[in-house]
Copies of this chain bind each other. A is one copy, B any other.
């Protein structure tokens, strides 16, 4: 059994967790949709669904972190960087663009909300993931001359806004909430610099 098999199982599980949640996804569906034998799943993920979910969260932490970092690197100005980052997400959640193929940026909040009271192990990994993403915004704000206090406040506000806007965009079947966030970022930055 190759690492390719492991990757395929993990990719399938990640996609299903994002769309269906932890409780809405069964191991049998992961086995079936990944086209992998049951033995492979238990070979690579002996702790089953919980381990798969933890690895899916860590995978997303890195992937989404890399996307955020990409936009922070692309523009010197943090306002321009956040604007490009948020507009790219708005594009992704524009359902006409074929959401099913774009699950790397899926609503991470589903796993975070599901685990909040139900699974302390996964809750912690989700909480750490948000902190990691916030640290990328924080570093960029500091590089733009914001004070430590302002950078802490703004990085957490941006993180909360994006998380909420993704949930609202999906629930309202419109990316308006994400597009709207990009409109208020300049005001936030201007007042807090």
Report which A residues bind B (CB closer than 8 A).
Answer: 19-24, 107, 109-110, 112-118, 123, 126-127, 130-131, 152-154, 156-157, 159-165, 167-168, 170-173, 176-177, 180-181, 183-184, 186-188, 190-192
Q: Looking at the assembled complex, report how far the CB atom of A52 sits from the nearest CB atom of chain B, in whole angstroms.
A: 16
Measured in the bound complex, the distance between the Cα atoms of B154 and A4 in whole Å is 47
Copies in the complex: 2
- What residue of chain B has the Cβ atom nearest to residue A157's Cβ? B184
Contact of A127 among B21, B165, B172 (CB under 8 A): B172
Measured in the bound complex, the distance between the Cα atoms of B172 and A146 in whole Å is 24
Contact of A184 among B23, B154, B176 (CB under 8 A): B154
Measured in the bound complex, the distance between the Cα atoms of B52 and A151 in whole Å is 43
Contact of A168 among B130, B172, B176, B184 (CB under 8 A): B130
Q: Is the CB of A110 within 8 A of B107?
A: no
Contact of A165 among B117, B152, B153, B160 (CB under 8 A): B160
Q: Is the CB of A20 within 8 A of B117?
A: yes
